[in-house]
Amino acid sequence: MNYYVCLHQEGVNSIPKLIEKAFANNYNVVAISINANMLPFEPYESDPTYPATILSGGDWNSKVIFTMSDVDVDSPNVKLRQHAKDVFMRDVAWAEHLQNVGSVMVRLRGPQNENLASIVRAKTKDQFPLGNWFIQVPITNPELATFEHRKDVSAEELAEAESNDPWNWWNNLRMATKHSTKVKVVVELNDSDRPSKETVRRWLGEPIEAIIIPSSLFVRNRSNYCVLKKEWQVIIGHFISVRANLIISANPNDKALSQYSDYLKKLINENCDTHVLNSYENMLEIPLQPLCENLDTYTYEVFETDPVKYRLYQDAVQAALLDRVSDEEAKTKLTIVMLLGGGRGPLARAVFNAAELSKRKVRLYIIEKNPNAIRTLSNMVKTLWANKDVHIFSKDMRDFSPPELADIMVSELLGSFGDNELSPECLDGALKLLKPDGISIPYKSTSYINPLMSAVLHQNVCQLLPTVPAFDYGYVSLLKNIYHIDEPQALFDFVHPNRAEKIDNTRCKVVSFTVKKDCVLHGIGGYFDTHLYKDICLSINPLTHTAGMFSWFPMFFPTRPRTLREGQTISIKFLRCVDATKVWYEWQVVNSPDDWEHHNTCGTGYNMRL
């Protein structure tokens, strides 16, 4: 991933020299006052101390972030407010002139930002040329730092300052600018107050552009080299992990600039998780429906690159074979294994490996409805499995009449929510393939949900609205910029084989959560875990995620955004509905008496076709 490390300095009167110094010390970008060494007291000053020609148009856009004049356009004093607005609009006009896809950074001074929001909202419409507005917010209330030097601070003053949370300043402005994708947040760290873990986690759910790291956070180690204390390394590492860029704020005469940049690039390398699926982060995808749509070879290939999942399937089959066939019977007793959905063969290989490792005899029936996958499987039988007892059938498992019943039924019909690829319906339909004492691998799956804050996912949902009822869809997404408002809780269980006299796969449950910190609910996260055999499990539940497994991304069920308060209880009603042709989910926040919007009524948006 391409991060930038930015040098932020004030009191510099030559932008080209600052850029030259920054690049010589391994920085990619500079942040500097748009007034460049001129106090912003005269809003009608025609000469802002430098001409547009000192840099090329490309350099203005790619190498410079302008910090706007630190004036209060929301001052309670009418004259000061108007003067500040004149100064600010002069800055905006100059920024528009110099940059057509660049960015400006604006500091939030407190909770009252109505006028600023109005200006930003007006200037973030499609016709406004500037690329982004970076809203600079302190990670904790700066007023708290002043209390360290005061002995007369009352408990009431301290409580009031702690309740004046800068996140709320940002949230009010974000709401007022209608969640614009051009409005991003820059979180400013400070050396007087280290934030709590929950405070940091909450910011990870925001559209973070960068964090500002004052040079005063650095200390000298034994080698006289500038480093960060372990606590700050961890905090900054969390921000790096969600792709936040880094801005160093330093004095113009600082002599350790290159040490700062080198150290931060080392932190980036240590905390930037790079993998083949990076491009899927925060993307919204409609879940696959392999029951009614044939998968292509690219999709199969992506799944097959996950070594953890198939190893655990292999372990499960091996353990089942050892339990069902004693050492004395190993050479004579044949175990019938039925593979429901062969794809391009990875589960078949797992079964054969398990048989070889356990020294048990198996006959494998592969039932696959995708005629294109059958061609690949048939070739594998001829070239790789010619000496195996294996038989392929091009059939839907629900319509298949087997030549003999199975001892073990193996399937991989699990979607990101456990049952969203219709494993209950498929395995119930395939029950006739199994002996009365036969087993299913997997034998149980459980779905989980929890409330999430993710401004980025919300913005992505809104971008789909012109074409589809986007708030009535469930999406698969590699969740990156998210805040878990509370931990996931179990939702629906499905057990296989299901030998109930009357099978009913509809479900309805209300799950309650406690809000840990003021935040915004943007949607519901969906996860699952599954028990393959005995205690051999696969999980994408964040609390128990199987290490190294990436086959399944979580699900995201959007809601209309609302601000929640710390300590508040939020209840989510989730339904799994079934009719003759489809299965679908419905979801609703049911904080009586103010129930929220009911999503996906009658499956008019997202549904799974039978």
Tally of residues, the chain: 610
d(CA 256, CA 259): 5
**What pLDDT is stored for residue 228 in this prediction?**
95
pLDDT in tens, 84-93: 999 899 888 8
Q: Bigger pLDDT: 44 or 304? A: 304
**What pLDDT is stored for residue 296 in this prediction?**
86
Res 399 pLDDT > 90? no
pLDDT in tens, 362-392: 999 999 999 999 999 999 999 999 999 999 9
Tally Cβ neighbours within 10 Å of residue 17. 10
Global pTM?
Answer: 0.90
**What pLDDT is stored for residue 487 in this prediction?**
97
Res 49 pLDDT > 80? no
**What pLDDT is stored for residue 144 in this prediction?**
61
**What pLDDT is stored for residue 126 in this prediction?**
62
Question: Is 421 a catalytic site residue?
Answer: yes
**What pLDDT is stored for residue 176 in this prediction?**
94
Closest CA to 189 of 227, 161, 215: 215
d(CA 272, CA 267): 8
Closest CA to 299 of 311, 307, 287: 287
Both tokens assigned to 563? 């601000």
* Mean of per-residue pLDDT scores for the chain: 90
Question: Is 412 a catalytic site residue?
Answer: yes
- pLDDT > 90: percent of the chain: 73
Both tokens assigned to 376? 């690949």
List 188, 281, 421, 586, catalytic entry: 421
Res 41 pLDDT > 60? no
- pLDDT > 70: percent of the chain: 92
Both tokens assigned to 314? 């292999």
**What pLDDT is stored for residue 140 in this prediction?**
87
CB 474 within 8 A of CB 555: yes
| Strand 132-138, strand 183-188: pairing | parallel
Bond prior to 497 in cis (omega within 30° of 0): yes
CB 523 within 8 A of CB 454: yes
d(CA 87, CA 99): 18
d(CA 65, CA 54): 15
Average pLDDT over residues 424-434: 92
| Strand 103-107, strand 390-393: pairing | unpaired
Res 143 pLDDT > 70? no
Amino acid at 338: M
Tally Cβ neighbours within 10 Å of residue 609. 13
Res 465 pLDDT > 90? no
Average pLDDT over residues 197-202: 94
Both tokens assigned to 263? 């150290």
List 188, 412, 425, 586, catalytic entry: 412
Average pLDDT over residues 395-423: 91
pLDDT classification of 466: cutoffs 50, 70, 90: confident
What DSSP line would sit under 162-204, residue for residue?
A: HHS-HHHHHHHHHHHTTT-TTEEEEEEP-TT-PPPHHHHHHHT
Which of 176-185, 366-375, 442-451 is predicted most confidently?
442-451
User: Of the ranges 94-98, 136-140, 344-348, which one carries the lowest mean pLDDT score?
Assistant: 94-98
Put residue 600 in one of left, alpha, beta given phi > 0 → left and psi -120 to 50 → alpha: left
pLDDT classification of 188: cutoffs 50, 70, 90: very high
Looking at residue 284, the DSSP 8-state letter turns out to be: -
**What pLDDT is stored for residue 212 in this prediction?**
97
Average pLDDT over residues 267-292: 82
pLDDT classification of 161: cutoffs 50, 70, 90: low
d(CA 370, CA 194): 56
